[in-house]
Amino acid sequence: MYHEDPSSFFAPSWCTSLDYSSMWISGCRPSSFIQLLYALGSKLSSNKLTMVNNLHLDTIKKEDKITTKLASLQEDMADQPISLIAKNLSEVGKPSEEVDRALDEHESAMANMIQEVDKLRVNTLKEFINILTPKQAVDFLASSKKC
């Protein structure tokens, strides 16, 4: 679905201003799962706490890498803005293959980024849930739905 209109997932119309303030590339940061666990004060063994901490550090590194990619995507768009391409067209109002191609490339890059972020969210949550005991995982998931 996001392949059809990826820009709407970066700024969904159904979100409130508060939602936007905590949003990161079409949703929450995967590291927020771990921050929520810390905030809930769950009791973890030192071994599990070390595993959660390592996952947290790894997830933050991956988030930073994706954030850098997003910045590059934004810079690429600013370097060759569609308005400049359109301005240099010989006939205003006529369809332009160059403008369409630039928009399609940008949308494809945005869709790929959403896919990469969603994969990171799912993988982080899976690894995180595997660290917890079944009861802790259920408690965490129930608590996360309340937030």
Name the residue ranges covered by the structural domains of the chain: 7-146
Torsion from C-alpha of 20, 114, 71, 75, nearest 10 degrees: -110
Interval 32-58 mean pLDDT: 91
Examine the pLDDT at 58 and tell me if it is beyond 80.
yes
Considering the chain, what is the average pLDDT of its residues? 83
What is the rounded CA–CA span in Å between residue 113 and residue 69? 8
- Report how far residue 143's alpha carbon sits from residue 136's, in angstroms, rounded to the nearest whole number: 10
CB atoms within 10 A of CB 67: 14
- Is 72 a residue whose pLDDT tops 80? yes
Helices (H) and strands (E) in the chain, counts: 7, 0
Grade residue 17 by pLDDT with cuts at 50, 70 and 90.
confident
